[in-house]
Structures are given as C-alpha cells and as structure tokens.
Amino acid sequence: MSIRNKHKFTKMRKFRDLFKWKAEYPVPEENMEISTPTVVEHKVHVTYNKATKSFEGIPNAWKSSIEKALSKDELESNPEAALSVKFYHYSIKKKILDFKPWQLLKLLKRKVAIDHVFENGKDLAGGIDSLAITGEPSEGANSSASAEDSDTYEVCKNSTDQVDRAQNEVKESPVQVRRKPGTKMSNEEVMEKLREICSPIKAESVYEKDSEIGEIGSGASGTVFVAKEKATGRKVAVKDIDLEKQPKKELILTEIQVMKELQHENLVNFLDVFLQENHLWVVMELLDGGPLTDVVTETVMKETQIAAVCYHTLQGINYLHKNGVIHRDIKSDNVLLGKDGSVKVTDFGFCANISGDEKRQTMVGTPYWMAPEVVNRKQYGKKVDIWSLGIMAIEMIDGEPPYLNETPLRALYLIASTGKPNVSSWDKLSPEFQDFLNKCLEVDMEKRASSEELLTHTFLSKRISTTTLKPLIEAAHNILKKKITQ
C-alpha cells in the first residue's frame, strides 16, 4: 500500500470511529414512548401590585384605560373584579341608531356589544377555536326585523389595530386539512351551506318592495325594507345583507339556522331566505311596533304592562331553553313589539346550542345586561338569559339599565364587584315585583330561578293585554319621529 493510500485509509478509520454507520447503532427492543406532560402549572402573568397600586404585565394602553375608568380605591379594594374586565375593553363594539345630538351618549352606550372568547381562545363547550378579539363589525348584534337596524363601529386603538393587521397577513394555506369538530368554517363552507338553505327561486317572483314605506333601516350588516307577498298582500320585513361586506359570515349562517329550525309565537319567525348574487335576502315577519327600547326610553310603563312583556319574553326564552339554545343577548333592543299586542324575541346571532346542564365560557353579550358569571369568566348555562331579563325589567322601570351613565369598562367592574344592582324606585314596587326581580338577579347561578319556574311566578299573574302598549308605542314613535307601518 502506497503511503498516500495508507494515509487515506487512516483518515477513513478515524471518520468511522467518530460517526458510526447506522447498522452499528443498537436497536431498542421496544418502541420508545413519550409521556404526557406532568405537574403542569398555568401561571397568570397579569397581577395587581398593591405597593404601587397599579397593574403589572399588561400593555400600557390597557393599563392606562383601566386606571382611568376605575379609582385607586376601587382597584385596591377589588383588584380581582378589575382583572376580570381588563380583557373586554378592546373587543367592545358600539352601535349607533339615528339620533338627535342630545341623545348621542345614551344611544351609543345602549348599543355596546361584546364578542369575546377566553380559555386560550377556545370555548370550553367546543365552540370557536380562535381568540375573538375582533376588529370587524359584529353582524350578530341587532340583526332584527325591526325598523331600526344600526351601524356598527369598533372602539379599537393601537394594540387591536396590530392584532387586525396580523390577522390580515395570514394567507390561506394551499394544503387541504381536515376540519375538526368545533373549528371555524371557511367562507367557502359557509357560502355552500347558505346555498343549501336558500330558496332556489328568485325573490322578486314572490315578494315586491312596498313603494309607500320602502327602506325602514340600514346598518353594517345591510338594509331592512318592507315588502309585500304577491300572492297574499301580507307585509313582511326583508333584510338585505351584502355578503361581501360581512367578515363573519358564519354568524349570519348561525342566526338563519336557529330562526329556521325554531318557530314560536314569541320569537320573530323566519319566513324564507334567498341568495341574490352576493346579497342575502332574509324574509321575516314584520313587527310594526318596533323595539321595546323606544317604549322604555320615552314612556312610563305600568307594572301590569311590565308583567305582560316579561311573561311573553319568558315564553320565548323558555322555548329556546327547552330546545337547547341560550340567547345570550336579551335586552329591550332585542324584543320587538307589534301593534296587535305581539311581543317577540329577536337577534339570534349570539345564540349557543347546549345539551342539558352543559356550560359555556364564551364572552358574548352587551355589558350592561351581562350576568356576573359571564363578567367574572366563570362557566355559565341557560340562566344568563334570566339575569338579562331582570336587567330588562329594570329598563322598563327606570328607562335604562343600571350603570348606563358609566363607561362599559366601569359598568363591567361594578357588575363583577357589586352583583345585584340597586333599583332607584325599589320601595315603590309591589312585593310580587320585588320578589320576581330578586329571583332573576340572584348572583348565585344555582339559586337563580329558571325560565320554567318564573313562568309560574305570582308577579306574572298581574299581566294585562299587551294591546295596551299601543298608545305607548305611538307616543314613543311620535317623539322619535319614526314611521309606523299602516
């Protein structure tokens, strides 16, 4: 062997000593198994420093907002309540109806809605899988057949703008993946479902716009107009939704599915739906009295009338609960009136399907009407609707919900820390009404009455015909200069 070859062979041996061939490694007798993690700890990094009397571990913008809304004494006395509401500020959406300048503040606050998900972005009941700090209008809110369908505006600055930009930069992967139960549907899947449930014929062949009344409302999710059924002459409300302007088409699909499957005399009933190119026409029964909000804000209701509205609203809520549905946004804006005495629950965009005593933890609703368990991020069930009904009853007494003069963030803090709100005219209420409110506004979910139990309450036996609301409806509409259908 030449010196060169010998030197080369020596190098190869050294290389093989360092890096063995695959065959030389010992083969384990059994496949290795990796165990699941143990002793897992979930550490909350956001804390309240009692020494400095300030929050630590949150963005400066959030810290500033909370400390402006709440006094130092409130932060020090109940920091847990403040921590519970810190997440909501940048997911708040405000909705504005047509208003007079002096009405701006109240109308702005009445239309605040929240659509937020917790627990690492996942609904515990298997719902939405992504953190819903959204920068888009929420088409679930105020999707009613009333004449007032409002515009939606997002109160978002700095940090949420960054979230929105990050979301917009995520491009759809070309790889087809399997969709697991509970994950969000793609726009294509939603559109396919909508095509399946839409009527195959053209809407114009069945309905025509009422030229005398025409459009009766407009908002972020579309316009609402009155139409006539050609065959019968019956007037209906048609919501024209421009799907190109809807970032959350799945909420629209949810609402239509709930309306189509559930029919009750105390729910705004679905009649038909048509897909016109990229516009969705949702046909619903027309409630010519408009929302209960008009009556409670502009007129004074008697206890017997309040009992009647509560009774019919409870009938609708009880029907939903029996069919495994939580409404999650009961308030006067979502109860529509008819001059014939109809009282109907509407806006099913935030509904959740549950089975039995199943719980949810998704943060959805409007702050002033939210139950304490929702604000405190606890698991909740059907009884959140009962709390909201109690707050709506206070609306009918005082003309507005508790804390309406406070900012939404401070209102959430007060709900979390105070629980049952005070009623200014409590001593003027009958004992039956006081007991009804106590059963609705019980902070302990287990002790709070169910819809079925409340339907037998003595306060509701005092109800009179809801046709007595007609003078109140007309008076409110004259004040607000709203058109009443003939």
Which CATH architecture best describes the domain 290-480?
A: Orthogonal Bundle (1.10)
Mind listing the pLDDT tens digit for each residue in 113-150? 655 433 333 333 323 222 222 223 333 333 344 433 33
R_g of the chain computed on alpha carbons: 28
Token pair of 410, please? 């401070």
Least confident stretch, 171-185, 242-256, 364-378: 171-185
Tell me how many helices (H) and strands (E) the chain has.
Answer: 16, 17
Task: Tell me which residue of 94, 137, 135 sits closest to 241, measured CA to CA.
Answer: 137
How many angstroms from the chain centroid is the CA of residue 338? 25
CA atoms within 13 A on the CB side of 414: 20
Please give the full DSSP string across 186-223, using - where no structure is assigned: PHHHHHHHHHHHSBSS-GGGTEEE-TTT-EEEEETTEE
Residue 254 has pLDDT above 70, yes or no: yes
**DSSP letter string, 30-75:** S---PPPP-S-------EEETTTTEEESS-HHHHHHHHHHS-HHHH
Do residues 447 and 313 touch, judged by C-beta distance below 8 A? no
Torsion angle of alpha carbons 288, 250, 220, 328, nearest 10°? 60
CA distances (Å), origin 317, targets 129, 300, 436, 454: 27, 25, 16, 11
Q: What is the pLDDT of residue 427?
A: 94
Ramachandran angles phi, psi of 330, nearest 5°: -70, 125
- How high is the pLDDT of residue 30? 56
Query: What is the mean predicted confidence (pLDDT) over 2-22?
Result: 58
CA distance 114 to 366: 6
The rounded distance, in Å, linking the Cα atoms of 395 and 242 is: 33
Predicted local distance difference test score (pLDDT) of residue 88: 58
Higher pLDDT, 94 or 53: 53
Average pLDDT over residues 176-189: 63
Q: How far apart are CA 92 and CA 168, in angstroms?
A: 20
Residue 187 burial (CB count, 10 A): 14
Chain-centre distance for alpha carbon 85 = 16
Q: What pLDDT is recorded for position 349?
A: 76
Inter-residue contact 455 to 412 (CB < 8 Å): no
Query: How many residues can be counted in the chain?
Result: 486
Can you tell me the mean pLDDT for 215-244? Answer: 82
**Can you tell me whether residue 421 is helix, strand or coil?**
coil
% of the chain beyond a pLDDT of 70:
60
Residue with tokens 């707050």: 391
Question: What are the residue numbers of the active site?
Answer: 328
Q: What is the pLDDT of residues 447-475, one digit of tens each?
A: 999 999 999 999 999 999 999 999 999 99
Asked if 412 and 367 touch (Cβ cutoff 8 Å), the reply is yes
Domain boundaries, the chain: 290-480
